Amino acid sequence: MSIPWTIDDILTATAGELVSTTDVARFSGVGIDSRKIRGDEVFVAISGRRHDGHSFLPGVVRQGVKCVIVRSDKLDMLPVSNWQDEAVACVSVEDTTKALGALGAYQRERAGVPVIAITGSNGKTLP
């Protein structure tokens, strides 16, 4: 079962700021891999050691993505005014990695899925 996302859901989960908006009402999921992202998903630009997801934003917008989550300190170098013209929602957050975690926690809470933990190390790892 997949619970769709709305812009309001994303803003609530991440405490982000809506910088540009879209007319798309719902998104099917969230992704961080620009090679696999679908147009009906939200792209979260994660900054890593080797790659910065913000550098892939023009490509994901060309692929049809209508909602992106970016770091607020990267806004000046992004074509946000173009995204407004193309009806691409842009949500600005302080830390996209933390925002991704917040999205996961929010979705788990909405789905009502219990959290289970297995402690100890005996027998969990197969040789």
Q: Give per-residue pLDDT as tens, 52-78.
A: 999 999 999 999 999 999 999 998 888
Does the pLDDT value for residue 116 go beyond 90? Answer: no
Q: What is the pLDDT of residue 125?
A: 63
Nearest CA to 94 out of 49, 51, 47 is that of 47
Topology of the domain covering 7-111: 3.40.1390
Long-range own/partner contacts, residues 42-45 (CB < 8 A, 24 or more apart): 42/5, 42/10, 42/67, 42/68, 42/69, 43/67, 43/68, 43/69, 44/68, 44/69, 44/96, 44/99, 44/100, 44/103, 45/69, 45/70, 45/71, 45/74, 45/96
Q: Where are the domains of the chain?
A: 7-111
Calculate the CA dihedral of residues 70, 75, 81, 86 and round it to 10 degrees.
-10
What's the pLDDT score for residue 123? 61
Average pLDDT over residues 40-47: 96
Whole-model pTM?
A: 0.87
